[in-house]
């Protein structure tokens, strides 16, 4: 007999004995396992499992704006967020305009969190010399655990007042003609640590529109997404689809692509967009530049937060 | 089997428990105070054997500045990936605790601390104080964030102190 073949046979036999031994000694193993569940950490895990907590999703987006548009994020209660948004001229201006760098459209604004779920903001855009004010309210927060909610919902309402000189000062003009309104429902879901998606059904009402054939109520739906590439950097895309029949003549849908870079208390957003305006009524319903014709604007948003009121800590009950 | 059941039931009376353990940390330097507090740590202490266990949700730390809390969870602790921090260990040379008379005991603890998914062995002094049938456990020790692979980028590094001080305060009651 070949001894080399004999060896594995022996091993099988031995394994058999071991299995037999295991079965014979099983009471010992069982009691060992029982003892193991008396391990303090396991007991603690069982105890915490009895009291599940709601785990609210945070940081769906880096900041309160995805690019031009409002994201689902609010500034926290007691926090002031100063934002400077800057859009250069169009790239197709060529070398004469230094690819748009000779021109600028700017919005300077400040947002403040009254509570963690309610924020207000004021701003002034150089485009159409427009003042704006808005409020954003958190209605539902995405969460897991005790309370399982698949998405976050916020409501947004804004009011806009342009202060351009009347184009026809001789006719009777009304101040109400300068006023626009915007209402948005923001629906967002953070699918993973890196990827978030938002839908924003929007109604903009313009008291005065350029043509008699133009509707006063303008409907659109925005879609925005962010993909993190590192912990402190993300790529964002934003597009608003204007519903046919509810848009102004000669306007196109705005499409923007941006990068967020976060450094401590600052967020820098570098963007490319076909819109010149920065407020809702301007970029959603007043964009005329076409990506296909190189009517693209480089721009950036800079945000700096200041904690005016420190959060009060939860105390032991 | 019967014996082990008996041991188990006998052991249960020695276990003290809290759901509102307070864990604080101080990580700031003279440039910025980086302080977090968590009042929802759960912990168990076996007063016979000296065994103890702590667990907490990283997301439950609160800060004076909201943005700091976001950065803590998003950038440093990655609390979605590593939702819990825990400690499992024992009091070495556990003194006999007389629960019926008020008094305090200085002890030494050792065990494994898990933060950011990384486990390290630590030792720390602690004080147990018996008062009216409850036991208050207090301990303070220091850790180095790099040991737990918590990455502090260069631009903000000077806002952090080299070592992070952790202060634990738990008021234990008998587990019913």
Strand, coil or helix: what is A314? coil
The distance of B174 to chain A (nearest Cα, Å) reads 14
pLDDT at A181: 97
- Strands of chain A (E only): list them: 54-56, 79-90, 104-113, 118-125, 130-140, 143-145, 152-162, 179-190, 195-206, 217-230, 233-242, 255-263, 266-273, 297-307
Q: Map out the domains of chain B with their CATH numbers.
A: 21-174 (2.40.128.110)
B71 contacts in A (CB within 8 Å)?
264
Reported as a single tens digit per residue, the pLDDT across A166-200 is: 888 888 888 899 999 999 999 999 999 999 999 99
CB B25 within 8 A of CB B163: no
User: Alpha carbon of A291 to those of A260, A279, A302: distances in Å?
Assistant: 21, 20, 24
Whether residue B128 is predicted with pLDDT greater than 50 in this model: the reply is yes
- Nearest-CB residue to B20 (from A232, A311, A317): A317
DSSP letter at A257 equals E
Q: Give all domains of chain A, ordered by start, each with its CATH number.
A: 9-50 (no CATH), 60-307 (2.40.160.40)
Distance of CA A157 to the CA centre of its chain: 17
Q: pLDDT grade, residue A4 (50/70/90)?
A: very low
CB-based contacts of B28: which residues, under 8 Å, 6+ apart?
A: B34, B35, B159, B160, B161
Q: Give CA separation, B92 vs A236, B12, B48, B137, in Å.
A: 54, 20, 12, 15
Q: What is the pTM of this model?
A: 0.81
Q: Is some CB atom of chain A closer than 8 A to the CB atom of B136? A: no
Give Rg (Cα) of chain A.
Answer: 30
B88 touches chain A (CB under 8 A): yes
The predicted complex's ipTM stands at 0.76
Residues B54-101 pLDDT 10s: 999 999 999 988 888 989 998 899 998 999 999 999 999 899 999 999
pLDDT tops 70 at residue B31: yes
Alpha carbons within 13 angstroms on the beta-carbon side of residue A69 total 34
Which residues 24-43 in chain B show a CB within 8 A of chain A? 37, 39-40, 42-43
Q: Is the pLDDT of residue A313 over 70?
A: no
Interface mutation vs chain A, best among B80, B151, B169, most A CBs within 10 Å: B80
pLDDT value for A47: 85
Kindly provide the b/e burial profile for residues A245-262, where b requires at least 16 CB atoms within 10 angstroms of the residue's own CB: ebbbeebbbbbbbbbbeb
Residue-wise pLDDT for A239-253, tens only, equals: 999 999 999 999 999
Q: Is the pLDDT of residue A71 over 70?
A: yes
Torsions phi, psi for A254 (to 5 deg): -80, 135
User: What residues contact residue A211 under an 8 Å CB cut-off, 6+ apart?
Assistant: A248, A249
What is the percent of chain B where pLDDT is above 90?
A: 69
pLDDT, mean of residues A128-156:
96
Tokens of A228: 């993190």
B43: pLDDT strictly greater than 60: yes
Residue A315 pLDDT > 80, yes or no? no
- Cβ of A59 within 8 Å of Cβ of B64? The answer is no
Which residues of chain B neighbour A112 with C-beta distances below 8 Å?
A: none
Rounded CA-CA distance A183/A124 in Å is: 19
Look-up of token digits 């009304």:
A174
């Amino acid at each position: 007999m070949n001894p080399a073949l004999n060896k594995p046979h022996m091993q099988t036999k031995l394994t058999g004995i071991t299995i037999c031994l295991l079965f014979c000694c099983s009471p010992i193993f069982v009691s060992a396992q029982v003892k193991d569940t008396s391990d303090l950490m396991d007991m603690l895990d069982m105890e915490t499992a009895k009291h599940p907590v709601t785990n609210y999703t945070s940081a769906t987006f880096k900041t309160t704006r995805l690019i031009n548009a409002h994201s689902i994020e609010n500034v926290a209660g007691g926090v002031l967020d100063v934002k400077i948004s800057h859009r250069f001229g169009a790239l197709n201006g060529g070398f004469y305009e230094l690819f748009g760098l000779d021109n600028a459209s700017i919005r300077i604004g400040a947002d403040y969190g009254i509570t963690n779920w309610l924020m207000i903001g004021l701003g002034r855009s150089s485009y159409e010399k427009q003042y704006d004010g808005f409020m954003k309210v958190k209605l539902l927060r995405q969460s897991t655990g005790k309370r399982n909610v698949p998405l976050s919902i916020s409501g947004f309402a804004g009011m806009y007042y342009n202060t351009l000189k009347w184009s026809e000062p001789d006719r009777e003009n009304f101040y109400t003609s300068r006023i626009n309104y915007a209402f948005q429902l923001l629906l967002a879901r953070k699918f993973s640590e890196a990827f978030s998606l938002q839908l924003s059904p929007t109604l903009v009402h313009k008291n005065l529109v350029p043509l008699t054939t133009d509707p006063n109520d303008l409907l659109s739906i925005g879609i925005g997404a962010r993909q993190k590439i590192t912990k402190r950097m993300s790529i964002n895309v934003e597009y608003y689809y204007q519903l046919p029949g509810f848009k102004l003549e000669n306007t196109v849908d705005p499409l923007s692509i941006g990068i967020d870079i976060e450094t401590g208390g600052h967020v820098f957003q570098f963007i490319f967009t076909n819109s010149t305006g920065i407020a809702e009524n301007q970029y959603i319903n007043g964009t005329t530049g076409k990506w296909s014709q190189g009517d693209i604007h480089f721009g950036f948003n800079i945000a700096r937060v200041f904690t005016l009121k420190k959060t009060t800590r939860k105390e032991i009950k | 089997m019967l014996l082990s059941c008996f041991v188990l039931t006998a052991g249960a009376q020695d276990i003290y428990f809290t759901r509102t353990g307070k864990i604080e940390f101080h990580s700031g330097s003279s440039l910025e105070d980086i302080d977090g507090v968590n009042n929802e740590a759960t912990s168990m202490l076996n007063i016979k054997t000296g065994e103890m266990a702590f667990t907490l949700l990283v997301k439950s730390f609160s800060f004076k500045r909201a943005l700091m809390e976001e950065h803590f969870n998003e950038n440093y602790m990655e609390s979605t990936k590593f939702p819990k921090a825990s400690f499992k260990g024992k009091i070495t040379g556990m003194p006999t605790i007389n629960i019926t008379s008020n008094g305090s005991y200085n002890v030494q603890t050792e065990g494994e601390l898990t933060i950011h998914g990384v486990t390290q062995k630590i030792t720390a002094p602690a004080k147990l104080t018996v008062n009216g049938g409850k036991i208050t456990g207090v301990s303070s020790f220091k850790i180095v964030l790099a040991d737990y692979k918590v990455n502090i980028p260069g631009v903000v590094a000077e806002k952090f102190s080299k070592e992070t001080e952790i202060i634990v305060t738990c008021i234990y009651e008998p587990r019913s």
